[in-house]
A = this chain, B = another copy of it.
């Protein structure tokens, strides 16, 4: 139960710009053992990816698929490594959002944390809602494709 980021939570920034990481996410991070919170802008989205060692590993794995001299490697590494930050987590489990993070996400005074298994994302609530609606539509398509192959997520139960 405490080894994956799931669900979504919306918390408020206080006057100093601090915001609490949801308790269940903190539990996952504690297990992961990373010092601080590793974050980088999500590719093509107005969100940040966040996590610990598990997230770092997926980044390294992705980069390992390309030759270190290729253009793909260069641009991916720039996006994933070059613009990442490590946010400090205070004793109450709060973080301070950098200006870059707020600018990229459009966050003003409310933050939505979205679980993605090995990582989670940081969104401005309204933008997340829009993104979620789009994702649901996409899931419908994929589900239709998959169900013709006898594997369905939330549809008819097999036996």
A residues neighboring B (CB under 8 Å) = 1, 4-8, 24, 34-36, 40-45, 49, 58-63, 67-69, 71-72, 74-86, 114-119, 121, 131-132, 134-136, 138-140, 142-143, 146-147, 150-159
Contact = CB atoms under 8 A, between A and B. Distances in A.
Contacts of A69: 43, 58, 62
Number of this chain's copies in the assembly equals: 2
Contact of A135 (B6, B79, B134): B79
A58 B115 contact: no
Given A24-B86, A140-B44, A116 B1 contact: no
Contacts of A74: 42, 45, 135
Given A7-B84, A8-B83, A58-B68, A118 B1 contact: no
B117 A76 contact: no
